[in-house]
């Protein structure tokens, strides 16, 4: 196995795909840089991995949760030591700038320490029984073998959001990394193995959604699926999983609005909008893709926003001076291009950017210019559909109530932000914005791991990651212990 040839992890062994096929992981900033070759697996590899996870479950579920958690503490410390190397690997395979890939690894570190604490906190409840000399309680049980399907935009953080709570809850896992970013999942799982994770508890199967993802979702021994990706794919995942009543947690798209009221601190709102819209090259599900401007501040904001976005440095994320990296692949560039065409046809006004960057070094990769549309109205597709690129729409409104109404006039509901100094309006917005996350005077991106993460409407199916992930990765058992030494019948009128 050459140094940059990677295999699946099944039952603690590194195995090639049974077919022997591989695919290349390519640096989006420089296509001549091949990060590694990864197995192009199929359903037969998924079957092997699920069998290994099922076998490991028999013993892993019996390891006390505080002991399972100790592995996460050790992994967290190892991740701290390896942070710089893993950030560099991530920038190479995914493109986002080093400051952000360091942040991505940091999010996994935060998650490891936070979830490790859950090992001593997997609380159940006790409650009085309606019968004498009978004890009633609820305890959390593992779900079993869980399938995890993870995206390329947070290649280590999001896998950690799923793997760590699954592990501490006593489950065993099969993970399918995004084909654009498998190396970061390898780095994460290798760290868990080095921290003492037993063989078979996590298995990695690389390959496409069509061959690996579907097989995982349909496998009868996989009890739950946690998916992060587009609403389109999420809907198919849920439909397939429904056939055998599998639990599914879906984390999907967003069309997140930053609302700026006339009384806002203009520079603060600009800082937030630039970071929210162009950080991670707009490729976050929490990215700011609509900026809703109250009329009194709209002109000034628009001028300054364009001025500041124009000088953002786009380039290879390994260069510390670069602020915006490439898009992850050519198909994302196609999507950005398509939405520019749609917006122009709808009559939106192009204020900046509008196409791929191809001169000089840009020619080596998949770069797209930071793009701003003005004169957007809420019914335009550019105002309603997720682009997942550095493309942002400016929409003007008159009253606070209209701002909220426009923010809510979409099918998604992940993140939202309001910039104002008016406390009353801030609290009204917290109540009225239809989103799983609301920020006041902070951008739409930047959720912390110990709060609920997820959204309403077409963003999700009701589950939350972060602080609530343990709810998905455990199942409740009600326990009754009768110490009366006689048959007591609940709900039956017993003669006293």
Q: Which is nearer to ligand UN1, 147 or 253 (CB)?
A: 253
State which of residues 49, 69, 417, 445 lies at the interface with ligand UN1 (CB under 6 A).
445
Nearer to ligand UN1, 98 or 197 (CB): 98
Residue burial 205-237, b: 16+ Cβ < 10 Å; e: rest? bbbebebbbbbbbbbeebbbbbbbbebebbeeb
Taking alpha carbons only, the member of 300, 277, 280 closest to residue 288 is: 277
List the helix and strand counts (H, then E) for the chain.
Answer: 13, 25
Q: Which residue's CB is nearer to ligand UN1, number 156 or number 174?
A: 156
Q: Which of 286, 294, 371, 393 binds ligand UN1 (CB under 6 A)?
A: 286
173 among known catalytic residues: no
8 A C-beta contact, residue 144 and residue 171:
yes
Q: Of 115-123, 262-270, 280-288, 356-364, which segment contacts ligand UN1 by CB under 6 A?
A: 280-288
The stretch near ligand UN1 (CB under 6 A) out of 117-125, 239-247, 283-291, 421-429 is: 283-291
Nearer to ligand UN1 by Cβ, of 154 and 186: the residue is 154
- Minimum distance between the CB of residue 177 and ligand UN1, rounded to whole angstroms? 14
Q: Which two tokens stand for residue 362?
A: 């840009």
Of residues 237 and 298, the one with the C-beta less far from ligand UN1: 237
The helix/strand/coil state of 303 is helix
Residue 94 in contact with ligand UN1, rule: CB under 6 A: no
38, 113, 114, 154: residue in contact with ligand UN1 (rule CB under 6 A) = 154
CA 479 to CA 298: how far, in whole Å? 60
Question: Between helices 423-432 and 400-407, what is the axis angle to 10°?
Answer: 30
Q: Write down the residue that tokens 């739409």 correspond to.
A: 444
Nearer to ligand UN1, 71 or 447 (CB): 447
Q: Considering only residues 96, 284, 290, 378, which one is a binding residue for ligand UN1 as defined by CB under 6 A?
A: 284
- Other residues' Cβ atoms within 10 Å of the Cβ of residue 462: 9
Round to whole Å and give the CA distance between 219 and 439: 40
| Catalytic site residue from 107, 285, 396, 465 | 285
Placement of tokens 């019968």 in the chain:
131
CB of 444 to ligand UN1, least distance (A): 8
**Does the annotation mark 385 as catalytic?**
no
- Pull the structure tokens for residue 58: 């028999």
In the set 107, 118, 251, 323, the catalytic residue is 251
Rounded CA gap, 384 and 254, in Å? 9
- Regarding 113 and contact with ligand UN1 (CB under 6 A), the answer is no
One of 29, 285, 314, 395 touching ligand UN1 (CB under 6 A): 285
Does position 446 bind ligand UN1 by CB under 6 A?
yes
CA distance 453 to 347: 35
Rule CB under 6 A: is residue 153 a binding residue for ligand UN1?
A: yes
Catalytic residues: 251, 285
- Give residues in contact with ligand UN1 (CB under 6 A): 107, 153-154, 284-286, 445-447
């Amino acid at each position: 196995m050459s140094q940059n040839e990677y295999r699946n992890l099944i039952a603690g062994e590194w195995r090639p795909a049974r077919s022997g096929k591989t695919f290349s992981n390519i640096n989006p900033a420089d296509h001549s840089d091949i990060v590694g070759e990864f197995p192009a697996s199929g359903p037969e590899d998924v079957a092997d991995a699920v069998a290994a996870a099922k076998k490991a479950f028999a013993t892993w579920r019996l390891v006390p949760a505080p002991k399972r958690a100790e592995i996460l503490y050790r992994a967290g410390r190892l991740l701290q030591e390896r942070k710089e190397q893993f950030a560099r690997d991530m920038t190479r395979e995914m493109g986002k700038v080093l400051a952000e890939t360091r942040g991505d690894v940091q999010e996994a570190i935060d998650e490891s320490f936070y979830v490790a604490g859950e090992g001593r906190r997997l609380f159940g409840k006790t409650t009085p029984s309606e019968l004498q000399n009978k004890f009633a309680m609820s305890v959390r049980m593992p779900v079993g073998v869980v399938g995890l399907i993870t995206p390329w935009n947070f290649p280590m953080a999001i896998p950690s959001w799923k793997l760590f709570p699954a592990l501490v809850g006593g489950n065993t896992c099969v993970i399918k990394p995004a084909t654009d970013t498998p190396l970061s999942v390898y780095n994460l799982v290798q760290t868990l193995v080095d921290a003492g994770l037993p063989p078979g508890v996590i298995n990695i199967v690389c390959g496409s959604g069509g061959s690996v993802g579907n097989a995982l979702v349909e496998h009868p021994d996989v009890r739950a699926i946690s998916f992060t990706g587009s609403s389109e794919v999420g809907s198919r995942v849920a439909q397939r999983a429904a056939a055998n009543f599998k639990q599914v947690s879906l984390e999907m798209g967003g069309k997140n609005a930053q609302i700026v009221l006339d009384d806002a601190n203009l520079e603060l709102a600009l800082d937030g909008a630039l970071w929210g819209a162009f950080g991670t090259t707009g490729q976050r599900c929490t990215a700011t893709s609509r900026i809703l401007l109250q009329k009194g501040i709209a002109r000034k904001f628009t001028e300054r926003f364009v001025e500041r976005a124009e000088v953002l440095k786009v380039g290879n994320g390994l260069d510390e001076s670069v602020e915006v990296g490439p898009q992850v692949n050519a198909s994302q560039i196609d999507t950005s291009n398509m939405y520019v065409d749609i917006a122009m046809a709808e009559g939106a006004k192009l204020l900046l950017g509008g196409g791929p960057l191809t001169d000089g070094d840009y020619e080596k990769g998949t770069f797209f210019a930071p793009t701003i549309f003005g004169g957007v109205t809420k019914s335009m597709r550019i105002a309603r559909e997720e682009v997942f690129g550095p493309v942002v729409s400016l929409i003007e409104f008159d009253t606070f109530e209209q701002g909220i109404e426009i923010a809510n006039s979409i099918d998604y509901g992940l993140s939202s932000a309001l910039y104002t100094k008016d406390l009353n309006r801030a609290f009204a917005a917290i109540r009225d914005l239809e989103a799983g996350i609301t920020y006041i005077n902070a951008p739409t991106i930047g959720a912390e791991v110990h709060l609920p993460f997820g959204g309403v409407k077409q963003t999700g199916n009701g589950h939350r990651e972060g602080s609530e992930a343990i709810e998905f990765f455990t199942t409740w058992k009600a326990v009754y212990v009768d110490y009366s030494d006689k048959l007591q019948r609940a709900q039956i009128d017993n003669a006293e």
